[in-house]
């Protein structure tokens, strides 16, 4: 009697597994839908203005890094050299923006401030900032400033809404 009971339980378990597998195979297949991103038209120009020199420090070898995170962390600027704050950084003919929200990640090193002579007024750390301006066909799309506490590197994300065509920019500007 026991062998028959064991055989019946084994058939029930295997039958249940087979019924479950048939049920799962009968479910509709999941199809991922990836939205198609429309390339934004126009001539883009990025202008960065620093409040103080960008320079690497003891922990980070990068003085300036600008990337597009949503595009596989595409690097726009990467520098390990000291960059003077006297001249703005201008990148003409910038491509790769899509219609909709774009993001720029910006990191600026401020060097090893605060580790020099304590008595010197020049060594007192001050707040650092970077002003970001993005132009499309010579019209300002975004103007934003990122700030950092004294002695801290500037890091931040700037969200840039880019309409599909420049005509949409003009229509939005004329709405009252």
Per-residue DSSP letters for 51-117? SS-BB--SS---SEEEEEGGGTSEEEEEE-S-B-SSS-EEEEEE---BSEEEEEEEEE-B-STT-S-
The mean pLDDT value for 35-42 works out to 81
pLDDT computed for residue 88 by the predictor: 92
Shortest CA distance to 43 belongs to which of 4, 6, 82, 96? 96
Confidence of residue 69 (pLDDT cuts 50, 70, 90): confident
Confidence of residue 120 (pLDDT cuts 50, 70, 90): low
Confidence of residue 72 (pLDDT cuts 50, 70, 90): confident
pLDDT computed for residue 117 by the predictor: 47
Contact 169, 175 (CB under 8 A): no
Pair type for strands 154-162 and 100-108: antiparallel
How many C-alpha atoms does 15 have within 13 Å on its Cβ side?
6
79-100: pLDDT as tens digits? 999 999 888 999 998 888 888 8
Q: What is the 8-class DSSP label of residue 69?
A: G
pLDDT computed for residue 157 by the predictor: 94
Task: Name the residue with higher pLDDT: 63 or 112.
Answer: 63
Start-end of H helices in the chain:
2-26, 166-174
125-157: pLDDT as tens digits? 778 899 999 999 999 999 999 999 988 889 999
Contact 50, 108 (CB under 8 A): yes
Phi-psi category of 93—alpha, beta or left, where left has phi over 0 and alpha has psi -120 to 50?
left
- Nearest 5°: the CA angle 105, 106, 112 is 145
Task: Please give the mean pLDDT across all residues of the chain.
Answer: 84
Contact 98, 160 (CB under 8 A): no
Is the pLDDT at 112 greater than 80, yes or no?
A: no
pLDDT computed for residue 73 by the predictor: 84
Shortest CA distance to 163 belongs to which of 42, 40, 35, 68? 40
pLDDT computed for residue 82 by the predictor: 92
**What is the Cα–Cα distance from 110 to 83, expressed in whole angstroms?**
10
């Amino acid at each position: 009697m026991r062998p028959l009971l064991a055989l019946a339980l084994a058939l029930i378990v295997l039958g249940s597994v087979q019924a479950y597998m048939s049920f799962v195979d009968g479910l509709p297949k999941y199809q991922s839908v990836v939205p198609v991103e429309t390339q934004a038209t126009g001539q883009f120009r990025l202008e960065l203005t620093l409040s103080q020199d960008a320079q690497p420090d003891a922990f980070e070898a990068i003085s300036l890094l600008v990337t597009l995170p949503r595009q596989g962390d595409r690097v726009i600027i990467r520098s390990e050299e000291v960059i003077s704050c006297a001249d703005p950084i201008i990148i003409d003919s910038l491509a790769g923006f899509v219609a909709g929200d774009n993001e720029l990640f910006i990191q600026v090193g401020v060097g090893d401030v605060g580790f020099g002579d304590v008595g010197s007024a020049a060594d007192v750390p001050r707040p650092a900032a970077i002003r970001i301006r993005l132009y499309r066909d010579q019209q300002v799309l975004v103007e934003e400033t990122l700030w950092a506490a004294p002695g801290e590197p500037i890091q931040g994300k700037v969200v840039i809404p880019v309409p599909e065509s420049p005509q949409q920019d003009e229509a939005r500007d004329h709405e009252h």
